[in-house]
Amino acid sequence: DSGVTQTPKHLITATGQRVTLRCSPRSGDLSVYWYQQSLDQGLQFLIQYYNGEERAKGNILERFSAQQFPDLHSELNLSSLELGDSALYFCASAPNQGEQETQYFGPGTRLLVL
Amino acid sequence: EDKVVQSPLSLVVHEGDTVTLNCSYEVTNFRSLLWYKQEKKAPTFLFMLTSSGIEKKSGRLSSILDKKELFSILNITATQTGDSAVYLCAVFYSGAGSYQLTFGKGTKLSVIP
């Protein structure tokens, strides 16, 4: 158990819908990273927040957005969902903002878009 | 184009064998390279490498980075069935005003009794 929690574990929805995925980092960690893992694309970095501010941006679609709240939990919002958005979404946390740090992954949210 | 390339894509070995997994990268402003093990669910951290030539070890696993030739290897000695997993390599690098993190597609290791 990494100490990072994600809800929900599974989510099934229809195309065109909007969903919110939630992540609570390990106690004391200020950084949250979001990743998407699909069968054909592998693990893709989406975005990182540090202490409430966006720190780094990867391959995140414009239909996706994220934020980190004052209590440091983070939410990833996915809108206008398409079949291709079906994937495992992981969040990871780290103590600080630097790239020299270990990231601890949550168990993931499996999203299925029908 | 792929910035992080892992090889082989898949590997099947017998228990007790030693394996070497490869990760090559092509990025500017390299910061660090990380290895992860992914079984059924979330990746778990193995190593972070920032300096060339310094081997990191954890039990039967070890890893080393060559920043001149832009690659890293992950060695697993005396493999066990519990080592069966996908091993992911990722590279942090600076670009476009911030830093990026890119993963390779992974090496699937299967250890058979």
Per-residue pLDDT of A54-109, as tens digits, reads 988 888 999 999 999 999 999 999 999 999 999 999 999 988 766 567 788 999 99
* Cross-chain Cβ contact A2/B42 below 8 Å: yes
Calculate how close chain B gets to A114, using CA atoms only, in Å.
22
Which amino acid is residue A18, in one-letter code?
A: R
CA-nearest of A103, A104, A102, A108 to A88 is A108
pLDDT, tens digit (0-9, with 9 covering 90-100), for B17-26 = 999 999 999 9
Cβ pairs bridging A and B (under 8 Å): 52
CA–CA gap between residue A84 and residue A74 (Å, rounded): 23
* A11: Cβ contacts below 8 Å, ≥ 6 apart: A19, A21, A109, A110, A111, A112
Q: What is the mean pLDDT of residues B62-80?
A: 95
What pLDDT was estimated at residue B19? 97
